[in-house]
Amino acid sequence: RQEQYAKLRDVPAVTKDGVEIALHMNAGLAIDMPHLHETGARSIGLFRTELQFMLAPRFPRMDEQYSFYKAVLDAAPEKPVTFRTLDIGSDKILPYMAKIEEENPALGWRAIRIGLDRPGLLRMQLRAMLKAGADRHLRVMFPMIANVAEFEAAKAIALRELDHIRRHRYRSPARIELGAMVEVPSLLWEIDLIAQRADFLSVGSNDLVQYMYAADRDNTRVSKRYDNLSPPVLRALERIADAGARHGAPVTLCGEMGGRPIEALALLAIGYRSLSMAPSSIGPVKSMILNLNLDEAQMYLASLLASDDGAPSVRDKLRDYAIAR
């Protein structure tokens, strides 16, 4: 199997009916970077920067963050890297930061909420990224954006840092794109506004599904109760893909479901053309794509969603469909 997938490395991910899908890779540590070349992924679609912070003995200084981002970019010479700003809080604890007791940490002070309330930390991280991205294409996205105002506030901080760098005559990135993660359900009702304002959108389906179903993603008692392949989740995800297409904002999905072949099939059928996943998922998902007639799958999934039979998941039907092809 592994060898079979290795052979697919340089084969473009194109469906039988000629639709090209962009497959990107998720990463979080420098040791993940060689997979970029091995898998043939188009880019790093999600770089989880908090891992460096979680492993450090204390809060990394600006120069340490800079060296780290520079090393990551140097390990991806021809390909873009999408850095996600610090997503700490909830399950991701920094041992050297005062622990805050919260009744509901997943609903608590985390990710961009900390970044906006303690802008010094976010500013330092953005400055390190902007410097590390000198003369390159730099992509940065903000986690847990709940409304357009939070995106605008984070963007303003990034632009202020860019201005600072230019005024001090440091080399700045040749191109900068700022994106929003779509993983808090409230954003679905501002999806047109955010699609107009962000340079790109990235769907964090792990969190989006957790918050849609009010079911802790790390508590298997409840997380297994609801399926990603349910009509409500698929309709929500479709709405995001449609808004991106309508406003010319590229949309990638970077949650774990994008790396599972049946779920990836469903995502393509509702309009996704770009997925970012763990390196080991790229081979299996690509091989599904190479065998897929997307036009037909699209019609089939649309008929399942239109049937309104109240079934909690389309998984079994979709699996039978995929096996029968």
Binding site for Mg ion (CB under 5 A): 183, 204, 207
For residue 223, the partner it binds in ligand PEP, Mg ion, none, with Cβ less than 5 to 8 A by kind, is: none
Q: Which of 154, 92, 150 is nearest to 122 (CA)?
A: 154
254 binds ligand PEP (CB under 6 A): yes
Range list of β-strands (E), the chain: 22-27, 44-48, 81-84, 137-142, 175-182, 200-203, 251-253, 274-277
317: its two tokens: 């039907």
**Calculated CA dihedral for residues 64, 67, 72, 75, nearest 10 degrees:** -150
Query: Looking at beta carbons only, is 12 or 279 nearer to ligand PEP?
Result: 279
d(CA 181, CA 264): 19
Q: How far is the CB of 46 from ligand PEP (least distance, A)?
A: 6
| SS3 of residue 24 by DSSP | strand
Q: Return the residues of window 261-300 that contact ligand PEP according to CB under 6 A.
A: none
d(CA 45, CA 47): 7
For residue 286, the partner it binds in Mg ion, ligand PEP, none, with Cβ less than 5 to 8 A by kind, is: none
Under 8 Å between Cβ of 293 and 16: yes
Query: Looking at beta carbons only, is 20 or 218 nearer to ligand PEP?
Result: 218
Q: Which of 271, 292, 298 is nearest to 18 (CA)?
A: 292
Query: Looking at beta carbons only, is 280 or 307 nearer to ligand PEP?
Result: 280
User: Which DSSP symbol is given to 59?
Assistant: P
Q: How far is the CB of 301 from ligand PEP (least distance, A)?
A: 21
By CB under 6 A, how many residues form the interface with ligand PEP? Answer: 10
Under 8 Å between Cβ of 13 and 5: no
| SS3 of residue 22 by DSSP | strand
Binding mask 150-179 for ligand PEP (x = CB under 6 A): ------------------------------
Q: Token match 């989006």: residue?
A: 208
For residue 48, the partner it binds in ligand PEP, Mg ion, none, with Cβ less than 5 to 8 A by kind, is: ligand PEP
Among positions 15, 42, 47, 87, the unique one binding ligand PEP when judged by CB under 6 A: 87
Under 8 Å between Cβ of 69 and 132: yes
d(CA 62, CA 54): 16
Query: Looking at beta carbons only, is 50 or 190 nearer to ligand PEP?
Result: 50
Q: How far is the CB of 160 from ligand PEP (least distance, A)?
A: 26
For residue 255, the partner it binds in ligand PEP, Mg ion, none, with Cβ less than 5 to 8 A by kind, is: ligand PEP
Q: Return the residues of window 115-154 that contact ligand PEP according to CB under 6 A.
A: none
311: its two tokens: 């079934």
At residue 249's C-alpha, the angle toward residues 243 and 254, to 5°, is 90
Query: Looking at beta carbons only, is 113 or 160 nearer to ligand PEP?
Result: 113
Query: Looking at beta carbons only, is 136 or 217 nearer to ligand PEP?
Result: 217
Q: Return the residues of window 190-249 that contact ligand PEP according to CB under 6 A.
A: 204-207
Q: How far is the CB of 59 from ligand PEP (least distance, A)?
A: 20
Query: Looking at beta carbons only, is 182 or 301 nearer to Mg ion?
Result: 182
Q: Return the residues of window 30-69 that contact ligand PEP according to CB under 6 A.
A: 46, 48
List of residues contacting ligand PEP (CB under 6 A): 46, 48, 87, 183, 204-207, 254-255
